[in-house]
Amino acid sequence: MTGFYWIASYPKSGNTWLRLALRELVQPNRRGGPRDRVGFAATASDRTDIEEALDIESSDFSRAELEALRPAAYRAMAAAASRPLYRKVHDARLDTAAGPLFPPEVTLGSVYVVRDPRDVAVSWAHFAGMSMEAAVAMLCDPAAILLPSPGRPALAVAQRLTCWSGHARSWLDAPGRPCCLVRYEDMLADPAPVLSRVSRYAGIAHGAADIQRAVEMTRFDTLREREIAHGFDGGQAGTAAFFRSGRAGQWRTALDPLQVARIEAAHGEMMARLGYARGCPARC
């Protein structure tokens, strides 16, 4: 019997990047190849995992039924495991009809990766092949649900996101062990201390040299080159690049002032809490 470390984030906030870096610590000899996927901390919404834990065919269940069964699935996975389990999560940390989606009794810890929501909107628009307007609307929609994209296999179950700040609040204010908060922008500016802090929190053994090596292996340019050479299936739409820009602040040119204002009006409080300054004068 053990439990989970949830590596959680709103989509397009650096979750994949962090997991790639952690993989370098956990499995230092593993190399990417064609269609390299992360290979560490598979998604908690993976249909096959949930089906195996519950002995079911997930497509025979409604969204609400499946959601209510997921806590039992995680308990069963934890009961069968002999070492800590790591899972990527995009779900908000909500209650289901059968209690918390991520049961506290099998939660060892949560790493929450957060990114400026204005940049998230830009990144999501590219990733999902949608307009900036639609991406901004999604970030502001308290009923947003992440579903498999059209034209992609439906290998994950539906994930309730809520809005951007609702998502952050659900993880940051969850009872139990306080989560390990990681800002994408900090990871970008100086990844080594961030990676070291996450690894300590999540019980991943490491030395300074390991951290340095993991940082080198997952520099954005390196990941980008690897994607160009081998491809990287991160679930992006069509032929879009997964590792696209790796920069902060793109929203300043990619979003129009009304879109910025909409995000700031909806999420200003959480942005301030997380250290993201408004870019739009209060009047706009």
C-alpha closest to that of 161 among 10, 262, 50, 41: 10
> CA angle, corner 249, sides to 141 and 224, nearest 5?
100
Does position 134 bind another protein by CB under 8 A?
no
Edge to edge, what strands does the sheet with 85-89 contain?
A: 85-89, 4-9, 107-114, 180-183
Pick from 152, 169, 244, 278: which binds another protein (CB under 8 A)?
Answer: 152
Which residue matches tokens 């062990």? 177
Residue 149 burial (C-beta neighbours within 10 Å; 0-12, 13-18, 19+): middle
Q: How far is the CB of 145 from another protein (least distance, A)?
A: 15
Q: Is position 27 an interface residue for another protein (rule: CB under 8 A)?
A: no
In sequence order, the 6+-apart residues with CB closer than 8 A to the CB of 100 are 71, 93, 94
According to the binding rule CB under 8 A, does residue 268 interact with another protein?
no
Q: Mark residues 211-250: x for contact with another protein by CB under 8 A, - for none.
A: --------------------x-x----xx-----------
Which residue in the set 39, 42, 72, 81 belongs to the binding site for another protein (CB under 8 A)?
72
**Helix 257-274 to helix 164-172 angle, to the nearest 10 degrees?**
10
Pick from 1, 30, 31, 48 the residue near another protein by CB under 8 A.
48
Nearer to another protein, 54 or 188 (CB): 54
Q: Which residues pair with 107 in a beta bridge?
A: 4
The smaller minimum CB distance to another protein, of residues 72 and 188, is found at 72
Please pick, from the candidates 42, 51, 188, 224, the single residue that binds another protein as defined by CB under 8 A. Answer: 51
Per CB under 8 A, residues contacting another protein are 34-35, 47-48, 51-60, 62, 64-65, 68-69, 72-73, 75-76, 148, 151-155, 231, 233, 238-239
